[in-house]
Amino acid sequence: MTSYGLLVSPSHNRVYAQAAAGLVKAELAVFGERALGGRVRDIEETSIGGVPYVTFSADELTETDVRLLSNLSSLYALFEIEGELLRPVELKPLDLFGSDLLTIQKYSGKTNEYFTKLLLNVTAMATDSPMDLVTGRPRLLDPMCGRGTTLNQAMMYGLDAAGIDIDGKDFDAYAAFIKTWLKNNRVKHQAEITSVRREKAVLGRRLHVTLGASKELYKSGETMEITVVNADSVGAEKFFRPRSFDLIVTDAPYGVQHGSRAKGAQPGRKQQLSRSPVELLDAAVPGWARLLRPGGAIGISWNTFVGRREELAEILASSGLEVQDSDAYLGFRHRVDQAISRDLIVARKP
């Protein structure tokens, strides 16, 4: 049995930093339960030399295990603990691009990129093949993608990803950002915006990006695809095939500025947008579930002040999904500000 110390990243904003150690502790517990066969034990928040660490014990960690642990959301460095000495463990994260892909965008309401990575990770752990995160290539959908933080994290991991958002300004902002970022970083790519039409009617706009992690991979056809649709997420099935995603990962709306029309509302009529995500999820989740492959998983973060966990669990279960409710999955609630207490819920499709 070997003891390890995980150094928590020092680059969090002040509010997230207060919750970071507890969140990565819960994330590590999910990794241990779902992908590492229960071989991770004794997970604790610890101070070493006045610096916050998360410590744990484990035996027989393989190279693939270390590759997985290298992607923990708040991991800055990993050490083996030998008495009073710390021996560095070489990390092998999945990241294909520089961190500015995730950090350069600054705007009001942006989901913290560390939390976005955490949500993607723990959702991937709930699938039938959790190690596919490092050994395979799951396909991801963010059905309320905003300005693309989740899509950018998927791109960092080398995954094909798609998003939907009803806000035209967010769609335009993401399209402008990703095209500029790819050009400035000399990433070989093609990007185009087209209209999505059905029976002569325009349903929305689509951004489609094909890119390569290197010029050589791009030329050989080993590419990634990012697709974003500017449309209402309730109609997601109009734009993507059934059973075409392994992961659905999204941050539910916190307030009316992110609202969508409620279930049953008539298009074109003025309506009051709800502050609660529950109505939107009730209308949208059944369609999302049909886009998910068997054995895939969906992860949703939300503001607990405007929706109860029991309500979201009922919505997911009524769509045929199995909510993950082990202790490891119940340790993620944390305060963002006075108006937002954030939590996440994950469910698997049988």
Co-location of 245 and 335 in the same domain: yes
The parts of the chain modelled with pLDDT lower than 50 are 256-273
Domain with 69 in it:
2-88
Query: What CATH code is carried by the domain that includes residue 195?
Result: 3.40.50.150
Best CA proximity match to 56, nearest among 91, 11, 7: 7
Whether 138 is in a domain gets the answer yes
Co-location of 170 and 65 in the same domain: no
Co-location of 142 and 74 in the same domain: no
Query: What CATH code is carried by the domain that includes residue 46?
Result: 3.30.70
3-state secondary structure of 53: strand
Whether 169 is in a domain gets the answer yes
Co-location of 104 and 83 in the same domain: no
For 244, the token pair is 């075409």
Co-location of 210 and 66 in the same domain: no
Q: Is the dihedral of CA 254, 148, 102, 296 positive or negative?
A: positive
Whether 242 is in a domain gets the answer yes
Q: How far apart are CA 324 and CA 297, in angstroms?
A: 10
Listed residues 88, 109, 139: the one ending a domain: 88
Classify the phi-psi angles of 191: left when phi > 0, otherwise alpha if psi is within -120 to 50, otherwise beta.
Answer: beta
Listed residues 88, 119, 143: the one ending a domain: 88
Co-location of 149 and 268 in the same domain: yes
Whether 94 is in a domain gets the answer no
Co-location of 287 and 224 in the same domain: yes
Whether 95 is in a domain gets the answer no
Q: What pTM value is reported for the model?
A: 0.93
Whether 328 is in a domain gets the answer yes
Q: Give the per-residue pLDDT at 18.
A: 86
Co-location of 79 and 111 in the same domain: no
Q: Is the dihedral of CA 154, 155, 158, 163 positive or negative?
A: positive
For 198, the token pair is 């059905």
Q: Give the per-residue pLDDT at 274.
A: 54
Co-location of 120 and 54 in the same domain: no
Q: Give the per-residue pLDDT at 50.
A: 87
Co-location of 168 and 299 in the same domain: yes
Whether 196 is in a domain gets the answer yes
Co-location of 163 and 30 in the same domain: no
Neighbours of 156 (CB within 10 A): 21
Q: How far apart are CA 60 and CA 1, in angstroms?
A: 8
Q: Give the per-residue pLDDT at 265.
A: 44
Whether 93 is in a domain gets the answer no
Listed residues 55, 88, 121: the one ending a domain: 88
How far CA 184 is from CA of 100, 129, 206, 208, 226, in Å, comes to 12, 36, 22, 18, 18
Per the structure, the count of domains in the chain is 2
For 321, the token pair is 């999904």
Co-location of 220 and 109 in the same domain: yes
Contacts of 235 (CB under 8 A, 6+ apart): 203, 287
By CB neighbour count within 10 A (0-12 exposed, 13-18 middle, 19+ buried), where does 235 fall? Answer: middle
